[in-house]
């Protein structure tokens, strides 16, 4: 069941993105940004946690999940450190993913050449 929910919820979040692409003139960069920001807001108001409990990776893997991760990080850090936590919490929680992306992109850039598209 959990796999089914992951599939359905993850798929539906992507459908929302696809509808934005098809019906608005939003560029992909704007859509990705919108998703991440929306994830922070949904996390902040407490809507996203139940979704994560239901769908697991179906909710955490889409970019809304990245925003949710920041919101959760801030929530914990503010509880522990006060106002400073507002600054440190988000990126601390997301640091693993961000560092991984930077390192892999750098390695790929060093090793590979851009491809022609057919």
Partner 1 sequence: MQITNKEYGEIVKLRSPNTKVAVTCTKAFLFGGIICTIGEGFNNLYGFLGADTKTAGTLTAVTLIFIAALLTAFKLYHRMARHGGAGTLVPITGFANAVVSSGIEYKSEGYVMGIGSKMFLIAGPVLVYSVLTSVVYGIILRLTIY
Partner 2 sequence: MSLYLSKGTIELQSAPSIKSFAAAVGKKEGEGPLKNSFDYIADDITLGGKSFEKSEGLLQQNALRLALKKGELSESDISFSFAGDLLNQCTGSSYGLREFSFPYIGIYGACSNMAETLALAALFIDNGIGTNAVAITSSHFCAAERQYRFPLNYGGVRTATSQWTVTGAGCAIVAAHDKPPYVKSLTFGSITDMGVKDANNMGAAMAGAAYETISAHLANTGQSIDSFDYIITGDLGEVGSKLLYDLFNRDNIPIKEKHKDCGTMIYDLNQQNVNSGGSGCGCSASVLCGYILQELAQGKMKNVLFTATGALLSPTMTHQGETIPCIAHAVQLTDN
Q: Provide the binding-site residues for partner 2, judged by CB under 8 A.
A: 21, 25, 28, 114-118
Q: How far is the CB of 67 from partner 2 (least distance, A)?
A: 21
Residue 25 interacts with which of partner 1, partner 2, none, CB < 5 to 8 Å by class: partner 2
Containing 63, the helix (H) or strand (E) segment is: helix 63-81
Phi/psi at 62 (nearest 5 deg)? -60, 160
Q: How far is the CB of 24 from partner 2 (least distance, A)?
A: 11
Q: How far is the CB of 106 from partner 1 (least distance, A)?
A: 6
Q: Which of residues 84-113 bind partner 1 (CB under 8 A)?
A: 85-87, 89-91, 96-98, 100-102, 104-113
Contacts of 53-56 spanning 24+ positions with Cβ under 8 A? 54/5, 54/9, 55/2, 55/5, 55/6, 55/8, 55/9, 55/10, 56/2, 56/5, 56/6
Sole binder of partner 1 in the list 46, 47, 50, 79 (CB under 8 A) = 79
């Amino acid at each position: 069941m959990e796999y089914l929910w992951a599939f359905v919820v993850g798929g539906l979040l992507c459908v929302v993105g696809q509808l934005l692409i098809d019906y608005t003139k939003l560029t992909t960069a704007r859509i990705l940004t919108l998703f991440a920001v929306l994830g922070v807001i949904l996390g902040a108001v407490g809507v996203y946690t139940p979704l994560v409990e239901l769908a697991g990776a179906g909710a955490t893997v889409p970019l809304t999940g990245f925003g949710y991760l920041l919101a959760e990080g801030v929530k914990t850090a503010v509880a522990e450190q006060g106002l400073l936590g507002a600054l440190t919490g988000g990126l601390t929680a997301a640091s693993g993913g961000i560092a991984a992306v930077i390192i892999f992109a750098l390695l790929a850039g060093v090793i590979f050449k851009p491809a022609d598209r057919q």
